[in-house]
Amino acid sequence: MPVHPHVTTNANVKMPALIYGTAWKKEHTSDLVVQAVLNGFRGIDTACQPKHYEESLVGEAIGRLSNHGIMREELFIQTKFTPLAGQDPQRIPYDPNDPLEIQVASSFEASKRNLGTDYVDSLVLHSPLFPYANLLKVWKAMEEIYHSGGARQLGISNCYDLELLQRLYFDAKINPSVVQNRFYSESGYDVELRQWCDEQGIIYQSFWSLTANPHILGSKAVVDLAQKYDKTPAQIVYRYLTQIRIVPLIGSTSQQHIKEDLEIFSFELTLDEMMGIQLI
Ligand SMILES: NC(=O)c1ccc[n+]([C@@H]2O[C@H](COP(=O)([O-])OP(=O)(O)OC[C@H]3O[C@@H](n4cnc5c(N)ncnc54)[C@H](OP(=O)(O)O)[C@@H]3O)[C@@H](O)[C@H]2O)c1
């Protein structure tokens, strides 16, 4: 079974180089997570956001996996605090009238119950809050969770503004370890932000890696490399991302794709080949 490599974050946490994403899987969440992990995934991304994620079914899968001899400690589990603006008003997993810091604490208690674990490997703020004072309040509440041993590292998602990220980084006591962003041309593929993240040891997690980039998947460079290595264009793109230190989130529902995605570590693109893949 291909157990894929890890990267080490600035919090000294070993994070799998590919992470299985659980958004939009509804009642299939548990079966798909079990399938992904049995095939070799060890990282799981979810959120305390019932609108898009079935966090309790991720917890069910974690329980089922122990029956297969795969224990919770072998898994990298990442969840998110989703601010009110990102929640379905009918299914908010905390009291929206509570102060922000209590919302974060309640959301995290719900995540622990849902996941059946007393700690997560990574706790991510789903999107920045405005004004900045609110973002800082939430971050401090996440730092409390970190200090109490509830989260081994912290991160932020949907943060495309480098100045905002830098401001948070310098104000935080516990620095972000991951930034989870849409990987697409509209943000210029976050080139500057990623470079700065690299310098701070912050790991960039990508989503929309395939769906937003049909032009890359269909490009001559990628198609030629797929032929050369006897891989699919999707495998070439995921391999490329891992070689530029990006950790892609992969939410595939197909067993064949799950297997193929885990097989990308069986080959390595050369520097020249990497240079040939144009992002924009
Ligand atoms: N922080 C945020 O706001 C945010 C937002 C969106 C997503 N996410 C996270 O990111 C995860 C991934 O979401 P995503 O939007 O990037 O899309 P995705 O769920 O990874 O799916 C993208 C598409 O890629 C296809 N695919 C996967 N591997 C393939 C392969 N080897 N060959 C061909 N097609 C392949 C999938 O089809 P098949 O199912 O047929 O394989 C699917 O249609 C989510 O589950 C979630 O955890 C986070």
Structural domain containing residue 115: 6-213+237-251
Segments in the chain forming alpha helices (H): 29-39, 55-67, 100-115, 132-147, 162-171, 191-200, 214-217, 220-229, 233-243, 255-262, 271-276
Three-state DSSP at 205 gives strand
Cβ proximity of 8 and 14 under 8 Å: yes
Q: What is the whole-number distance in angstroms between the Cα of residue 167 and the centre of ligand 1?
A: 30
Residue 280 lies inside a defined structural domain of this protein: no
Residue 229 lies inside a defined structural domain of this protein: no
Local confidence band at 166 (pLDDT 50, 70, 90 cut-offs): very high
Mean pLDDT (the chain) is 97
pLDDT above 70 covers a percentage of the chain that reads: 98
pLDDT at 4: 64
Q: Is 207 in the pocket of ligand 1 (CB under 6 A)?
A: yes
* Residue 20, beta-bridge partner list: 44, 250
Residue 241 lies inside a defined structural domain of this protein: yes
**Alpha carbon 14 to its chain's center:** 14
* CA neighbor of 81 nearest in space, from 12, 131, 130, 128: 128
Q: Is 157 in the pocket of ligand 1 (CB under 6 A)?
A: yes
Q: Is 253 in the pocket of ligand 1 (CB under 6 A)?
A: yes
Local confidence band at 280 (pLDDT 50, 70, 90 cut-offs): low
**Alpha carbon 116 to its chain's center:** 20
CATH number, domain containing residue 156:
3.20.20.100
Digit-coded pLDDT (tens) for 94-143: 999 999 999 999 999 999 999 999 999 999 999 999 999 999 999 999 99
Give the whole-angstrom CA distance, residue 9 versus residue 6. 10
Backbone angles phi, psi at 152, to 5 degrees: -85, -20
The predicted model scores a pTM of 0.97
Residue 279 lies inside a defined structural domain of this protein: no
* Residue 7, beta-bridge partner list: 15
Q: Which residues contact 78 (CB under 8 A, 6 or more apart)?
A: 19, 43, 44, 45, 46, 120, 121, 122, 123, 124, 155, 178
Q: What is the mean pLDDT of residues 194-220?
A: 97
Local confidence band at 279 (pLDDT 50, 70, 90 cut-offs): confident
**Alpha carbon 245 to its chain's center:** 13
Q: Which of 55, 207, 241 for mutating ligand 1's site (highest number of atoms within 8 Å of CB)?
A: 207
Digit-coded pLDDT (tens) for 217-259: 999 999 999 999 999 999 999 999 999 999 999 999 999 999 9
Three-state DSSP at 72 gives helix
Exposed/middle/buried for residue 278 (C-beta within 10 Å: 0-12, 13-18, 19+): exposed
Q: Which of 28, 78, 255, 257 for mutating ligand 1's site (highest number of atoms within 8 Å of CB)?
A: 257
Ligand 1, atom 27, lies closest to the CA of 252
Residue 129 lies inside a defined structural domain of this protein: yes
pLDDT above 90 covers a percentage of the chain that reads: 98
* Residue 8, beta-bridge partner list: 14
pLDDT at 278: 73
Decide the pairing of beta strands 14-16 and 6-8: antiparallel
Exposed/middle/buried for residue 172 (C-beta within 10 Å: 0-12, 13-18, 19+): middle
pLDDT at 1: 47
Question: How many domains are there within the chain?
Answer: 1
